[in-house]
Structure formats: structure tokens, C-alpha cells
Amino acid sequence: MLNYIPYFGPVIGAFLLALGGLMTFSDIWMAMLPPALMYGLHLVEANAITPFVVGHRLTISPLLILISLSFWGWVWGTSGALLAVPLLIIIQTIVKAAGKPDIAGFLFEHGTLVQPKTGRNRRRGDPPEAQRETGG
């Protein structure tokens, strides 16, 4: 449950395990083994396993997730770390929906980077005049 509190959650969990270990074991090394094991496993899970699983599940590169977490965590701190993956998904969706840019399309009637429509790649609802203009 404490994993949902970024940065401090695992530290609090390790502290509680250390407290329980000190009450249970007489040897300090045996008492510190559970918190050390828990914290080590948490580091592996949070920095390797979770980005890998989330990246494959959402078809986003794990490296991109780590970069997003680092950037938004740096910009907005804890709130940014919590919002990093949703923001990444939103940005990726907007970029995919925007499609290939037609940079000079706003200056010219038909644009410059757009391929002319032929009979094969003509849209279904285009009028016959558009078909004659493109040579299809």
C-alpha cells in the first residue's frame, strides 16, 4: 500500500520492517535483512520490471517511460511523477492523431507535401471532379 506514495512510501515500509525486525531478532544483521530485501526488491521492481510491463502493455517504449518519469518528476516533483505516464499517453495520442505534417499546406490550395489522390488511393466520398483533377 505504501508503494503508492512516491519516494517516501518504500522508505516508510522499510522503516516499519526494520522496527519489526528489531523487535523479533536479537542480531542486528538479521533484523535489517527484511527491510534491506524489501527495499532492494522494490528498486528492481520500480526501475526495471514496472516500466517494462507498462511499456509492453501500452505499446510505449520502456525507455520513453523512464525519460518521461524523470522529466515530469524533475519539472513538477511528486505530482509530475504520478502524472508522467498518463501525460506520455496523451502526448503520444495527439502526435499520432495529427498525422504527417503539411508544413506549407496553409499557404497553397493543395499543399506541397501531400501526394495527389489517384484512382487507387482516392477516398470513397470524393466527387468525380476531384478524380479528374488528379488524373485518376
Question: Are 37 and 61 a contacting pair, CB within 8 Å?
Answer: no
Burial of 10 (0-12, 13-18, 19+ CB in 10 A): buried
More confident residue, 51 or 35: 35
Handedness of CA 48, 51, 54, 57 (dihedral sign): negative
The model's pTM: 0.46
CA distances from 51 to 11, 58, 66, 88, 120 (A): 20, 10, 7, 13, 42
CA–CA separation, 9 and 40 (whole Å): 14
The whole-angstrom separation of Cα 13 and Cα 7 is: 11
DSSP reduced 3-state for 135: coil
The residue to which cell 533484523 is assigned: 31
Q: Tell me 116's DSSP state.
A: P
94-134 pLDDT per residue, tens: 888 877 666 666 666 655 555 555 555 555 555 555 545 55
Q: For the segment 64-99, what is each residue's pLDDT rounded down to a tens digit? A: 888 998 899 899 988 888 888 888 888 888 888 877
Q: What is the average per-residue pLDDT within 21-43?
A: 91
